[in-house]
Structure 1
Amino acid sequence: MTKTLSSLLMLILTWTCVANAQTESTDPVTRSITRLAQDAIERGDCPGVVILAADSKTVRHCVVLGNQQSQPHVVPMGRDTLFDLASITKPVATATAIALLQQQGKLSDSDPISKHLPEFTGQGKSQITVKQCLLHTSGLTPDNELSDYSDDQEQNWDNVCRLPLRSAPGSTFAYSDVGFIVLGKLIQRVSGMEQQAFVAQHLYQPLKMADTQFNPPAEFKTRIAPTAPAGESWIHGRVHDPRAFRMRGVAGHAGLFSTADDLVLLGRELIAASKGQGKVFEKATVQRMFQPVKLDRGSRSSGWDHSSPYSSNRGNSLSDAAVGHGGFTGTVLWIDPEKDLIYVFLSSRMHPDGKGAINRHAGKIATLIGDNW
């Protein structure tokens, strides 16, 4: 009888996680994750969080805690909440698209950007390669002036093409949104499709990532976590990044929305592909994308972080093979092929007052998970 009741309890706990209920787990690691997440909420660093730690077959730890929205009214957090991923767009929508175009034989890492975008020249920019943009060693400025962007998309691109270099291409690491805006344009030109259409057709649809998209339709709004204050309201249902917003919500550096479960699906595909068992990616494609490159400030791979000044959210117990990325809005994704571990931490740290900070919390949780994997 006791064994039956125990099995029933575990079934209920598993079911409630799937159904978005917030409940206390009997698993000691999950309970420890919950305590750390609760600390982040109580400190005002985020209103709520969805945390998944999964391997290739199962979700081992699921924590759905707090609120999706705290003002002007409360909406409880759900496992199916969509988040503005911010810079996680870079690996999930841009680096992956570049990798697929390479797999199709349409690009190579060593190609100068100007080979495919001949207008992208002048002031040394003709020598910038695809790989340098992916590694943030292009020499391009981190961000150009917001006034360079408007609803005139052709003018936006002309303004990017006129930017001077900050340093010689390949000489130093300097995290650059502009470099990924250039890659977004490259995807469009080489594929002959808008970036959002290319990744949807070639990546998200085959992997059944049904919630991953730019510019979510209005019917998704009730499931989307709002971000920063905007006048007397909050940014809700549209991209937070101001440059991506002026680029109509689609850019190589920001704009993607997704759920924790969709990111697990992507992580599983990339881990499977690294072993030659992918549905979308070939083994060589993922090996090339994940190959770490030592830089003057840590190491990165093509569109992904390894160990750099931006890695505080990875903790200290993932393997050297782990790749990941964070997003300004409070989002974290790490994929560790060696440990067969996918770690997703999604929050909306900018809500409600724009003052939250989650990297320290995410890093502690990553360490806890890695130590007990």
Structure 2
Amino acid sequence: MAKLEELLVRGLTATPRPLYSGAVGIIQVRGQVEQFATVGHTAAYADTSGTPISPEFSRPVTEETIFDLASITKLFVTTTVLTLVEEGVLSLDEPVATWLPSFGTGERTQVTLRRLVTHTSGLPALLSLWKDWPDRQSRFDAILNAPLVRTPGTGFEYSDIGYLTVGLLAERVTGRTLPELVRDRVTGPLGMVDTGYLPPAAKLDRIAATEYEPDEHRGMVRGEVHDENSWSLGGAVGHAGIFGTAGELVRLAEMLRCYGALDGVRVLREETVDQMTRDQLPAGVDPGFRHGLGLRIDDPSFMGPLAGGGAFGHTGFTGTSLVVDRDRELVVVLLTNRVHPSREQADIGPLRRDVAAVGAETTTGAGAGS
């Protein structure tokens, strides 16, 4: 058994409860798959008490299994808005108030797109939109009028509210929906046919289940976004909502590894991707890692031994992660449904780091030009 598969099996058989019901891992070097593994099933439980799900509602996980990518959505949205920056429709450093008038007073005038995608906007991490506001319009209004928790540019606060704002900004300046923008500017050009918002019902049996949520009368969530705020806003917003397969997520990662182009198709300019993957945090702001445009850089919490050499990537709450190490010509993707049947599972961080370590071992001695 290859090391990657061994790790995924270990997560599937962990006690007192498995980390997930299913997982897919890919380690790719120089555009070629070096290790690939799938384990488990798309669902295992009917509720949080551990009642086994009926077999007809579960399938073995394969390369075709679709996962809720959670906050990896932010990377798709960042790529989308950066295409708008390249076209001059948006600017990284123009006040967001130029397009969103609710940002036109006080310190809110200092909020820029660059600060939004580096999580230095001063906006709060979260608001319980799904619970504390009664309808979709009031929730959108709450996003656009969210109070700052600090002066923009003075600290790091990982902010879903910031990325909800990014999504609204993209829709405002183009007059198009976020699913249309992501499809036409990212997933379509990259040939990602199973990646996007709001997966159709015809693909439901390929989608990994997430959490059992009786309080919101959602039951076992499957085929609709797990994140409550995204769900309450229709499932197609800036911080969460995109679903996809591991193989297709590798294509996004490879595009970034190759400075914006893949298979002869250019999605972003080289200089744009260079900015994405270089530290953009203001002087004196140190959250324990570096941060580019929409990407974490050298974050040991999920990159393990790959952190420290300029590796970049992102994670998702549902148990997803990707890491790119250009020096090693390496892409590591891990997709799981670690919130199934409950988010009160064991920490998946150690597995993420262990999988990254397998990537490092696979490329030991390999580097740029080797």
- Structure 2 residue aligned with 1:209, among 192, 212, 216? 192
Cα distance in 1 for residues equivalent to 2:164 and 2:188: 23
Question: Offset at 1:148?
Answer: 4.6
Corresponding position: 1:261 with 2:247:
yes
Corresponding position: 1:320 with 2:309:
yes
For residue 38 of structure 1, what is the aligned residue in structure 2?
Answer: 9
Corresponding position: 1:242 with 2:228:
yes
Question: Offset at 1:318?
Answer: 5.0
AA at the equivalent of 1:96? T
Corresponding position: 1:53 with 2:24:
no
Corresponding position: 1:365 with 2:365:
no
Cα distance in 2 for residues equivalent to 1:247 and 1:152: 6
What is the 5 A alignment of 1:90-239? 90-91=74-75, 93-146=76-129, 147-153=131-137, 155-231=138-214, 233-239=219-225
Relative to structure 1, the CA distance from residue 150 to residue 266 in structure 2 (aligned partners, 3 Å threshold; closer, same or farther) is farther
Corresponding position: 1:80 with 2:64:
yes
Relative to structure 1, the CA distance from residue 262 to residue 105 in structure 2 (aligned partners, 3 Å threshold; closer, same or farther) is same
Cα distance in 2 for residues equivalent to 1:331 and 1:363: 12
For residue 7 of structure 1, what is the aligned residue in structure 2?
Answer: none
Worse-matched range after superposition: 160-169 or 207-216:
160-169
| CA-to-aligned-CA distance 1:17-75 (integer Å, 9 cap, x gap) | xxxxxxx5xxxxxx111112111111111122100111343111101112221121342
What is the 5 A alignment of 1:271-310? 271-273=257-259, 279-294=266-281, 295-297=285-287, 298-308=289-299
AA at the equivalent of 2:11? A
Percent of paired sites with the same residue = 31
2:351 is paired with a residue whose SS is: helix
Any stretches of 5+ residues in structure 2 without a counterpart?
46-52, 364-370
Cα distance in 2 for residues equivalent to 1:168 and 1:236: 39
Q: Is the 8 A contact 1:151 1:248 kept in 2?
A: no
Cα distance in 2 for residues equivalent to 1:302 and 1:42: 37
- Taking only aligned residues, the RMSD between alpha carbons, in angstroms, comes to 1.9
Any stretches of 5+ residues in structure 1 without a counterpart?
1-23, 25-30
Relative to structure 1, the CA distance from residue 326 to residue 149 in structure 2 (aligned partners, 3 Å threshold; closer, same or farther) is farther
For residue 368 of structure 2, what is the aligned residue in structure 1?
Answer: none
Question: Offset at 1:230?
Answer: 2.2
2:34 is paired with a residue whose SS is: strand
Count of residue correspondences: 340
Cα distance in 2 for residues equivalent to 1:273 and 1:242: 34
Question: Offset at 1:355?
Answer: 2.7
Cα distance in 1 for residues equivalent to 2:141 and 2:242: 24
1:200 is paired with a residue whose SS is: helix
AA at the equivalent of 1:152? R
| CA-to-aligned-CA distance 1:177-211 (integer Å, 9 cap, x gap) | 10000000111112221111011011111110001
2:234 is paired with a residue whose SS is: coil
Cα distance in 2 for residues equivalent to 1:208 and 1:246: 29
Runs of 4+ in structure 1 over 6 Å off? none
AA at the equivalent of 1:360? P
Worse-matched range after superposition: 213-222 or 350-359:
350-359
Cα distance in 2 for residues equivalent to 1:211 and 1:98: 21
Cα distance in 2 for residues equivalent to 1:278 and 1:217: 27
Question: Offset at 1:159?
Answer: 1.4
Worse-matched range after superposition: 140-149 or 182-191:
140-149
Q: Is the 8 A contact 2:189 2:265 kept in 1?
A: no
Q: Is the 8 A contact 1:89 1:252 kept in 2?
A: yes
- For normalisation by structure 2, the TM-score amounts to 0.87
Q: Is the 8 A contact 2:209 2:222 kept in 1?
A: yes
Cα distance in 1 for residues equivalent to 2:163 and 2:134: 18
AA at the equivalent of 1:296? D
Q: Is the 8 A contact 2:64 2:206 kept in 1?
A: yes
